[in-house]
Structure 1
Amino acid sequence: MVWTGAIRMRRLPSALLSCAIFFIAAASGAFETTSDDICSGLITQYLSDADDWLTPTAGRTYTNTIVLPSNLLEYSPDYAFDLWCRTLKDDGGPSVEHWVRADEEVASVSQDIELDCDVTPDEITLPHRAQDVLLGFGETVASFTLLREIEAAVEQAEYVDIQTQLRNEWLKVGGVLMGLMTLESAAFALTADSLLAPTNLIARFAIAVASIATAAGLLCDAYLLLRFSRASIQAFKRRAEDGYRVRGENDLPGSGTPVRTYIMFAILARLPLLLALLAMACITALLGAAAYALSPLAVLGVLSVVSGVLTLRYLFWALLWTVFAVSRMSAIVSRLYMRVVRSVRG
């Protein structure tokens, strides 16, 4: 089924990065998370506390009746509540009529609270497909960024801590990039007869990639420091938020399900560090190529020692199993020999 997404972005860099990653993910089909996976995964994970199973009482507002992941509830309360109803049915939980939405006041205990939980797949396929892709992609991004901390933040102090952590990271990465730029400038200034001069193809490619990665990292680092490091908490949240509106074929322009995430900002915040790592890897390749041209035996020897230390526990495990296997084989051979000797003498 074809679906279209109307994306409203507040800034050009995040828009370009957002479109590229989102459409690559959707086209490749790498994120095949379904709504059933969300029911069994996200909701079950957040509904383990028995205190969340409450019975309505007249005149009381229930703020903890429905406990869902904050990022999922942010995307679409109706979508999240539909999943809640379906989860209750699948798990054989209490009757849906005895549950209320969060912050909804119950006027009478005897009053039946009718909630429509019979949602067919055709009614929610388009919003679910778009949100499932974002949720699955967000879990991947959270493994190497601060996405989980940003989405879990509620109090202003938590946002201040995140902003301070990001500012310190950007400042440190900026210092590393400046040092790498110094090394790369020195490599460009070397003459052709120098040992470190990028003469072969690998060395030239490495210094070129390192230089452009360092320059791009410095630009991104400066942009992030100027835009986010000294902004107020309200401005920080507003600038970091990705604003999407996913709609189906029959929705009017401007309508649809709003989806709010911090996925693209989390990737952008780690971009200077990723570029610094790329530049350091290229500088390492340049030094390795120069050392190999000078003495291949020394390079192979050092790499062998380093590889041996890194795999020492596996080598030790293999040695133990080798000793065990040899001892067992020796015992078996010894018993066979004794049996043969007894049979010959007997």
Structure 2
Amino acid sequence: MLVFNSTNAPPLIFFLTGIPGLRAGQVWISIPFCLLYVIALSGNSMILLVVLGEQSLHEPMYYFLSMLSATDLSLSLCTLSTTLGVLWFEAREINLNACIAQMFFLHGFTFMESGVLLAMAFDRFVAICDPLRYTTILTNARIAQIGVIMLIRNVAVMLPVVLFVKRLTFCSSLVLSHSYCYHVDLIQLSCTDNRINSILGLFALFSTTGFDCPCILLSYILIIRSVLSIASSEERRKAFNTCVSHISAVAIFYIPLISLSLIHRYGHSAPPFVHTIMANVFLLIPPVLNPIIYSVKTKQIRKAIIRILFQKQRQI
């Protein structure tokens, strides 16, 4: 058995995997993937352009929405080159350093999205439960602090993960299971003890999404309790309606994440291509659907997008 240490030269080369068992049809399968990437990139770019360009949208709720769009945009860009490269050109090779960099940003932006969803839940909690203090609690400086804290948290939990991956020794099997570098996938190729890496990975997961999800749930328990105390049914409906977009964003992030975890744990009898497609869909669903949901459900965003599109048409 050949053994490779990550510190040795020349650099280690890993091999990405497209769609197992469907290699002949990968070019055709790449068409819907490409369309999803186009929708994700254009949709989130449009949201960012609208929020940053429209003075009327310079409010806490829309600042958090712009953070969500920036995170989704970055998440899509993380996997775009390798996924389409594998599906279109059979460009399967990736060296260890590039693989670790992709893994760092992929997991980092996933955790960032979870943190942004928690910040948006806090925004809805303050807006509904303490509306008179909304502008004094969620100032521009505080929103910036929340963004910096989320960024620092993600870097702090991911740096040890990356450093310990660099210390691993890899065996002759260097074939990854996905078209991008995933932490669990990478450390399973190690022929040395990877228990520390597994523990660090679990710690990173539980200290981010594992913390954020219960906090989001708690915020909505408090929101529901506050809304039910409102006498008017019309006001209750309006209050709940302001949360629909965020609840949808939470659902399309956590449901695929939980589904993918269950398939990895209990779906051993499922064909390999099911795992691969689910893993890619998990990364694409939130970036694709979030701009659509907020464009449809948020009147101010919808009006601003229509205004910008009409302005461009007049210029043409």
TM-score, structure 2 normalization? 0.30
Which one has the bigger helix percentage? 2
Q: Which has the higher contact order (CA 8 A, sep 6+)?
A: 2
Q: Which has the larger radius of gyration?
A: 1
TM-score, structure 1 normalization? 0.28
